[in-house]
Every structure is written in C-alpha cells, then in structure tokens.
A and B are shown apart, each in its own frame.
Chain A
Amino acid sequence: MKLFRPASKEPLWKDEFSINRADEQYVSRRQFTKFLVLTSLGMFAGNVWILARSWFGKTPVYSEKNICRTTDVPVGGVWLFRYPTEKDACILIRPDEETYVAYSQKCTHLSCAVFYAREKNRLECPCHEGYFSITDGRVLQGPPPRPLPRVLLEKRGDQIVAVGMSTLKDS
C-alpha cells in the first residue's frame, strides 16, 4: 500500500468502501485536510455558542415553595422534598438546633441519591463513595466533579421556605 497517491477520480463513497482491503483504511490528504478544517470550524462554532450563552443567558427564576415546619425536622434529622420541580429530589438537613441546610439529592457524578451521614456530619453518595460537605456542598472525596447544588432557604416564622438554587461557584 502506498502512503501517498494521486487524487482518486472515483466518487468518495467508492473510495470509502473500497473493494480492495488495503484501500479501505486509506485517507487522502485532501480528505484529511477537509476533516481538520470542518472539525476546527465545529469547535469554533461550539465555543462561540458557549460564549454567547454565558453572555446573554438569563439567570433562572425560581418560585418559592413551602417545605415544612421547623418542628417537623428533629436535630440531626432530614426532610426529603422536591424543588424546583417535582422531578428534582432535594434533602433538607438540620445538623444543629438553629441551622437548616438543603441540597439537591442528586450526586453530581452519576445522579445517585445522596444521604446524610449523621456521625460524620456529611452527605454521602453510596454508589462510588463521593462525599460532600454539609456546610457548602463542596466535594470532600470521590469522583463527583462539581459541588452539590444548594437550595436557598428562608425561615418565615416556623415555616421553612425554599427561595432559589445556587452552586458553590456563584455563591
């Protein structure tokens, strides 16, 4: 098999599916250059799109939602709820008397449900042993690539209300 050869007069599909076994893997220089140019263009367009999204993208608006009463959750206990939509499982934790924190329950690695490990005071994902901090949701160990999204809470009287979501990066 020759490494370089003159341009083929056959249509491209015949070259791609050549009867000759040696020609099957052959990529002409022109074809390779086309591939490089087109993939570079694709990468460029993708980057421009990401840039445009970050410039012009709107920050999402979250509705408020009553979660539970302060008395519903004992100290060291948890309360499961859904926020911002019915498909997003979240977990509210009361590590001590005055503190209430809530995070998305979906591990940022492969979306397993995280649980509250009371004795270690952290959120743990049982699938691949990814651990998250209870104070800000950052990854303590394991494969999760991002911190857990946090649910912003407000205490109105004895009612706990979810008012929005934030991740460690924006907060």
Chain B
Amino acid sequence: MFGYEFYVDPSRCIGCQSCVNACAECETHRGTPMIHVDFLDRTNSTETVPFVCMHCEDPTCAKVCPADAIKKTEDGVVQSSLKPRCIACSNCVLACPFGIPKMMTELEQMMKCDMCYDRTSEGKRPMCATVCPSQALAYVPSEQIERLRRGKPSNVFFFGKQKVTTKVFMMLPPEESALAMDVVDYMWEGHA
C-alpha cells in the first residue's frame, strides 16, 4: 500500500505470540512461523521483542548467497529463497546481522519473512501486523505513527562499522537517531 510502512516497537511487545501463530497460518508456509519473538534477558525480565525481516536496502543475505536464490523486488522487499535455487548452505543464516533467515533442514531450503508479499503487494496488511494486540508490529502510514507514538522511527542500524539501512522501521527513544549494536559486547557474559 502506498505510504504504508512497517514499524517494530519492542517496548510495546507483550510476548503473546499472536504474530507467531498468525504467521504460521499462512498458506505458503503453513505451520512454520517466519517470525521470531525473543526474550531479551530471560533470567531477569519478561521483556520480549518481535523480529520480522528488516528488508535491508543492501541485503547481506542476498549478497552472500552463492546460488543467487535471494531476490529483492522493486518495492524493496527481500524475498524468501527461491526453492529451485537454494542449496541450503546457510550462508545467509550466518551473514544476516539481525539473525532472521531460518534454515529448514527438512526442506533443504532457507525460509524467512517476506513481509507477506502475497498480501502487501495486493494492498493488504501483513498477517502479524493485523493480529498484534499492542501494535508492537504496525503496518500504518508514517503520519499516523508520528501522530500516535512518542518514540522515533529509525531504519538505520550500526553493527560495528557497518551501516545497515532497512525498509522496516524500529521505534527508538526520541533522543536516539540510529541504533548501534555491538554484538560482541552483548555476547559477553559479564554484560548486565
């Protein structure tokens, strides 16, 4: 839909798994959700965060694919792997900075969120955004997000020195303009 954008707001997520189940309802991958709802720090908090594919402008998954199986459409949506091409090498799984692609070992194919391309290309909202009760996943016009939310949408992420610009927006605190993630720091056990 013209002017509609996808917004992920982790602060609103209540961990209800509605998006996961709605995603698994889809006819193209029935029973297998393409969305991740992760606990941030499970021992100390109940906070969860939903992760859909961020649809990078310069998708690392597609760039590392040796079989040319991951394609980006003209509207900026990075598609799931093409079945006849995917060789199940897991390069994309390892390369994605957001950890989105999933290797379906039994299908020998990588599958990931394609922003419900069958729906969004026809002017419908993605499944997860239609069912999210707290609208942590929202597919709305940008004016609406500015009007209703205090956070600031950003689609620029820094992984070390790598700058990643995405199609999907993440809601950040108003004072932040881009999200910098130091993956090694998060992996460090002493990190509180």
Contacts and interface: CB of A to CB of B under 8 A. Distances in A.
A67 B142 CA distance: 92
B74 A22 contact: yes
A17 B72 CA distance: 12
B70 A19 contact: yes
Interface in B59-90: 59, 62-63, 68, 70-74, 79
A5 interface: no
Contacts of B62: 19
Nearest to B68: A17
Contacts of B63: 19
Contacts of A17: 68
B15 to A, nearest CB: 34
A24 interface: yes
Contacts of B70: 19
Interface of B: 59, 62-63, 68, 70-74, 79
Contacts of A21: 71-74, 79
B71 A1 contact: no
Interface of A: 1, 17, 19-22, 24
A24 B71 CA distance: 9
Contacts of A1: 74
A24 B85 CA distance: 14
A24 B73 CA distance: 11
Contacts, number: 20
Q: Among B59, B68, B79, which residue has the most Cβ atoms of chain A within 10 A?
A: B68
Given A17-B68, A24-B71, 9 more contacts: A1-B74, A19-B59, A19-B70, A20-B71, A21-B71, A21-B72, A21-B79, A22-B73, A22-B74
Nearest to B70: A19
B74 A20 contact: yes
The 7 closest A-B pairs by CB, nearest first: A19-B62, A21-B71, A17-B68, A22-B74, A20-B72, A19-B72, A21-B73
A80 B112 CA distance: 66
Nearest to A17: B68
B87 to A, nearest CB: 14
Nearest to A1: B74
A155 to B, nearest CB: 64
Nearest to A19: B62
Contacts of B71: 19-21, 24
Nearest to A14: B63
14 contacts: A1-B74, A17-B68, A19-B59, A19-B63, A19-B70, A19-B72, A20-B71, A20-B72, A20-B74, A21-B71, A21-B74, A21-B79, A22-B73, A22-B74
Contacts of A19: 59, 62-63, 70-72
A20 B72 CA distance: 5
A163 B131 CA distance: 88
A20 B62 CA distance: 9
A21 B59 CA distance: 13
Contacts of B73: 20-22
A119 to B, nearest CB: 54
Nearest to A22: B74
A1 B79 CA distance: 18
